[in-house]
Structure 1
Amino acid sequence: MPWTEITRPHYERRCPRYASDLTDEEWALIAPHMPSANRIGRPRKTDLREIVNALLYMASSGGAWRLLPKDLPPFSTVQKYFYRWREEGLLRTISNSLVMAAREREGREASPTAGVIDSQSVKTTERGGIRGFDAGKKINGRKRHIVVDTIGLMVGLVVHAADIQDRDGAPAVLKSILKRWPWLRHVFADGGYAGPKLKGALRKIGKLVLEIVKRPNGAKGFEVLPRRWVV
């Protein structure tokens, strides 16, 4: 999205502490999903808004747990809530709710019927977690495989070894989101997803139509392609 006098103020963040902190308006959207305090046992002393602020700080800065600033909750407390919410599916529920709200705000149906799939290989450390060598990108690490709707909102994500080709990793990504987005029918992709093998795999997991968006013949350098540019 280009920066203009209209769009810049809309996305500008002026927070009293960190740019990643939630605004009151943003917290109002997330707060209804937060778990209630237990009626039995010691009263909750942790501010859940500060837990979310800490997670957003981690996501935006890419820092280690132990590098959380001292004015945020202890990293061990933030870790505990993160793992609990991840396992309970709360983070996914919040993400899906925000996607639906944003789509309705744009005048669209809450559940998307079309999406765009793509991947990105990133280098990782030599220890811990899955990894593989992406021969095409010359990267040893993991591959982030995502699906977005046609306005660029993420509706699916799977992380796997970088040595898995796009057409082989796509079925797992799409299968993982069909229960959440049952009306998804059309998927746009680049040439890396072409071939009968993937189309055959998609027929087994749902009524999905795969459309390959190719670069025009003779195109040189970067060129914005229909549908694919949003991912």
Structure 2
Amino acid sequence: MTSWHWVLDAVRHVVDNGVKWANLKRDFPPYRPVHAFARRWQVMGLLAELHDRLRDKVREREGRSPDPTAAIVDSQCVRAAANIPRPASGWDGGK
């Protein structure tokens, strides 16, 4: 197995199981170098690029367009324009 395979496997393990890097299973190399590689890849944008490419492949395999045509916005997280009064915008400051 090449060196980058264990980095990807470790990233998948951390994300899938919600564990901390320091709690990687002993099946992986020591967490410090693995985390350093993963962090470098994240800073360079490689992990995001890999994620986007895999998502596109999955969507194509399902017969869907690689680009989503809809989005879901949590209305509690989006503020209305400043000129719209709060009672009309549905903003709940207590949340």
Using the size of structure 1 for normalisation, the TM-score is 0.32
Runs of 4+ in structure 1 off by over 6 angstroms are none
The residue identity in structure 2 corresponding to 1:59 is V
Equivalent of 2:14 in 53, 58, 80? 58
- Indicate conservation of the 8 Å contact 1:51/1:73, yes or no: no
Residue 95 of structure 1 is matched in structure 2 by 51
Aligned with 2:29 (options 51, 54, 73): 73
Pick the structure with more strand per residue: 1
1:104 and 1:110 in contact (8 A); partners too: yes
**Aligned match for 2:81, one of 179, 192, 197:** 197
The letter for the 2-side match of 1:94 is L
| C-alpha distance in 2 between matches for 1:118 and 1:79 | 32
Higher relative contact order (CA 8 A, sep 6+): 2
Deviation at 1:88, TM superposition (A): 0.6
Number of the residue aligned with 1:104: 60
TM-score by length of 2: 0.71
Shift of the 118–102 alpha-carbon distance from structure 1 to 2, 3 Å rule, reads farther
Aligned CA distance change for structure 1 residues 63 and 110 (closer, same or farther; 3 Å):
closer
Q: Is the 8 A contact 1:58 1:68 kept in 2?
A: yes
CA RMSD of aligned residues (A): 2.4
How many residues get paired?
82
Gaps of 5+ in 2: 85-95
Partners in 1 of 2:15 and 2:64 — Cα distance? 28
Structure 1 gaps, min length 5: 1-45, 120-164, 169-195, 201-231
Identical-pair percentage:
33
